[in-house]
Amino acid sequence: MTHSFHPTILREYDIRGIVDDNLTAQDAYAIGRSFATLIGRAGGSSIAVGYDGRLSSPMLEEALVSGIMDAGVNALRIGMGPTPMLYYAASTQPVDGGIEITGSHNPANYNGFKMVFQGRPFFGADIIQLGQMAAAGDWDSGQGSAQHLDIVDAYVDRLVQDFSGFGVDGRPFRMAWDAGNGAAGPVIEKLTQRLPGEHHLLFTDVDGHFPNHHPDPTDEANLADLRKLVAERSLDFGVAFDGDGDRIGAIDGQGRVIWGDQLLQIYAAAVLQGHGGATVIADVKASQALFDRVKELGGQPLMWKTGHSLIKAKMKETGSPLAGEMSGHIFFADRYYGYDDAPYAAVRLMEAATLLGTSVTDMRSQMAEWVNTPEMRFQVDESRKFAVIDEVLARLGDSGATVDRTDGARVLNEDGWWLLRASNTQDVLVARAESHDQAGLDRLLAAIDAQLALSGVVRGPQAAH
């Protein structure tokens, strides 16, 4: 039997497509069989498989598992749940890899795959090889088996293991949790039953239509219901999750957003008490306030490339106990080799406030205030996005500007900094700027516009995530 395959779903850092357009059951089969072939050739024999709450996920899971078994590899099917539950299974069960079927924070008609290969992230050249194998039908054959395992309770047990987040000044936390109808909902229900304090839950029923709001906590509009609940009940703070539960969003008791780099400031203050001098990693979009704060706390700040797989790899290389991204991916080294787990990040926020003896709201108030833009994303032809960055870097080099080239161009001057980089996963350029005041921010934005204009690009309408 031949199986068609759409290579357009393959991206350097993920596999994602529009269901029934460029992502079909045949694609899922081909991905499963190719991945399982790689596992088998590396000496492995079993793969954990999970899926999120999207309407298309069960169909894709069936096809994926068929491909795995036809390669002679066994499938451990853990069912519907958040991506970190799949990471937990891949780290604790006798398997050699894992695949989560998930569209993450993308629109409801999207879906995709996140993978773990023998304990490491699977991305970049790995995905390219997977596509080449699928296109060529370079597959092993066999008769693998499938086994079902309910792992939700064991995963929740791990989330609360050695829990120490009992509150501040002897008062347990009063919190709000917004699962956004995503795959983390049932886990959040079980988790909050195990935690001390008072917990108010929003949208924990899994619904792939996302009827209340889209599950992307980096979009402030999606935090409106959480803000309302925190205000009405005078709660201490609130947390929110994306569609597959690997990214966290948060607000304090005053309804202020605590962005990913601000959460890292809180976590760093707690983690560095036990890891003095340790490296704390953040992506190039993070505020200078975070890097300055890590230094103040006695840590070693490290700016790195955006992309959760890249951050995970850098954590292992440096032995960092903590890392994170503006997108809300937070990584703790004590959690399945540094994988991102948003329910665990929520637990760690409770523990950090308890350890530091300061409310989340007070910690948010004490942070250095910079004037900055949100992440700005705008369309550019796929064939031009990296070329534009190269052109900008060349001009900046000729001008003698202070440039960090870790991931695109991050330019530092007396006004603050601005960033321009090519997205890893979309045909967009990403920009951000930060200054001490609005006038400085305006000058930074003008510098971005000037560089783009020299490459024939206008910073026009922003692209959708």
Residue closest to 426 by CA, chosen among 117, 105, 133: 105
Can you tell me the distance from the alpha carbon of 30 to that of 1, in angstroms, rounded to the nearest whole number?
12
Number of Cα atoms under 13 Å in the Cβ half of residue 232: 8
From the candidates 46, 57, 104, 287, give the one annotated as an active-site residue.
104
H/E element holding 446? helix 438-454
Give, in order, the Cα–Cα distances in Å from 334 to each of 155, 307, 341: 14, 20, 11
Q: Which two tokens stand for residue 425?
A: 């996963």
Query: How would you class 263 by CB atoms within 10 Å of its CB: exposed for 0-12, middle for 13-18, buried for 19 or more?
Result: buried
Q: Known catalytic residue: 104? A: yes
Contact of 13 with 307, CB cutoff 8 Å: yes
DSSP, collapsed to helix, strand or coil, labels residue 154 as: helix
DSSP state letters, 128-145: HHHHHHHHHT--------
The conformation of residue 354, written as its DSSP 8-state character, comes to H
Residue with tokens 């560089």: 451
Which residues are CB-contacts of 450 (< 8 A; sequence separation ≥ 6)? none
Task: Tell which residue, 8, 29, 23, has the closest CA to residue 54.
Answer: 23
CA–CA separation, 141 and 70 (whole Å) = 6
- Using an 8 Å Cβ cutoff, are 331 and 338 in contact? yes
Pull the structure tokens for residue 376: 């700005």
The position carrying tokens 């205000």 is 231
Helices 25-41 and 57-70, packing angle to 10 deg: 40
| Alpha-carbon distances, residue 161 vs 80, 164, 180, 191 (angstroms) | 23, 9, 25, 11
User: Pairing relation of β-strands 300-304 and 322-324?
Assistant: unpaired
Partners of 17 in the beta sheet?
Answer: 111
Record the tokens describing residue 319, joined without a space: 């032995």
- Closest CA relative to residue 160, chosen from 335, 408, 418, 287: 335
Beta strand 279-283 pairing with 300-304: parallel
40 strand-pairing partners: none
Integer Cα distance of 48 and 96 in angstroms:
8
Residue positions annotated with a catalytic role: 104
